[in-house]
Amino acid sequence: MHFEMAERMSRLPKQFFASLVDKVNARVQAGYDVINLGQGNPDLPTPPHVVEALRTAVLNPKTHRYSPFSGLPKLKAAVADFYAREYGVHINPDTEVAVLFGGKTGLVEISEIYLNPGDVALVPDPGYPDYWSGIALAGGRMVKFPLLPENAFLPDLAAVPEAEANRAKLLFLNYPNNPTGGVATPAFFSDVVAYANQHHILVVHDFAYGAIGFDGVKPPSFLQTPGAKACGVEIYTLSKTYNMAGWRIAFAVGNPSVVSAINLMQDHYYVSLFAAVQLAGAEALNGSQECVRELVDTYERRRNAFVSTLQENGVDCPRPKGSFFVWMPVPSGYTSTSFADFLLERANVAVAPGVGFGECGDGFVRVGLLTTEDRLREAALRIVRAVQEAREAR
């Protein structure tokens, strides 16, 4: 018996990267040594002191019960302490923190909370595809703004048609940026606040890669900007900073009315995040941050190993300023999809086609720095050889 799904399900974007996974798996099953740089799944373990905090909490029977629906006070206090320590931002833990079941959940929920059918959301192109999912489920309409290398992958919001800006209810931003590796500046965030106030738009800053900045640069929080809390929220996940991707713990911070709305929706969707995971999250935020410094150093060494090997062998590839991705231009004559297929077939290196993140992503592939320096050098050399062979064949 077949049951028709609701019409909203047909609006969901196609899972572009599912076909990439299938291609990589087929190649591996055929016996090839594939270096898979196409995904964004952190490869290093959660720091031991965080794991130990979970173990201790799990053994306490009090964590086996329902925790408060809006999150443990200890975790929300840890979030406030984290923002004060890292960014000099005062956060009220009672009214300005919403605990999330992973950052992705919050990014989808916020569109369902604020968009009516036909309402406009401004989204980056290229950008994280799950922004699209929440908008689609809400019946909203996306207006995309391009992220271009000549503008350091920062949007020119003034180029958004005035009529669309006036209709917009949400503006999604993400810095350090997935997939481009671009990093925002305080001046840019000041312009965003002014733009949001002018058009009465809620800013949603996806700060998933907030800890990962290179060359001595600490990426700024949107909430450091004067007036940011009045017009927006920031979504921070522990997945990247602390290698807690599988733990599914994140939080939204900022505007109290938005935090209250998120808590209201989650009160209907969920009961509460397992208390032991919340206590481990508090330990990650409050404990030693040496693991974070070591992690960022690791990603910077990986970036340098991969990009330097390409550049030393005549392949153009800029160094990203943040995140754990490299946004690599494709050679002339290729689309992002055809070049990704070419690298998988000729070099046994898997990368993500840029067009999967939006039309402006065509012309690039995303490379995840999620394996060892040796494997990244090997991947770069394989890419160099494949590109050279393609040039010689023309």
The residue type of 232 is: G
Check residue 393 and give its pLDDT: 61
3-class SS of residue 227: coil
Residue-wise pLDDT for 37-95, tens only, equals 998 899 999 999 999 999 999 999 999 999 998 999 999 999 999 999 999 999 999 99
pLDDT value for 21: 86
In this prediction, residue 329 carries a pLDDT of 96
Cα 290–chain centre separation = 22
3-state SS of 95-115 is CCEEEECCHHHHHHHHHHHHC
| pTM (2 d.p.) | 0.96
Give the DSSP letter of residue 11: T
Domain boundaries, the chain: 7-45+291-393, 48-286
DSSP state of 372: -
The whole-number pLDDT of residue 230 equals 97
Pairing of strands 120-125, 141-146: parallel
Q: Dmax over Cα atoms in the chain, in whole Å?
A: 68
CA dihedral 11, 108, 20, 126 (to 10 degrees): 90
Give the residues of the chain that fall short of pLDDT 50. none
Distance of CA 340 to the CA centre of its chain: 21
Q: Count the residues in the chain.
A: 394
- The position carrying tokens 């799950």 is 130
Q: What CATH code is assigned to 7-45+291-393?
A: 3.90.1150.10
Output DSSP code: residue 179: T
What is the per-residue pLDDT for 391?
76
How, if at all, do strands 364-368 and 352-353 pair? antiparallel
Protein fold of 48-286: Aspartate Aminotransferase; domain 2 (3.40.640)
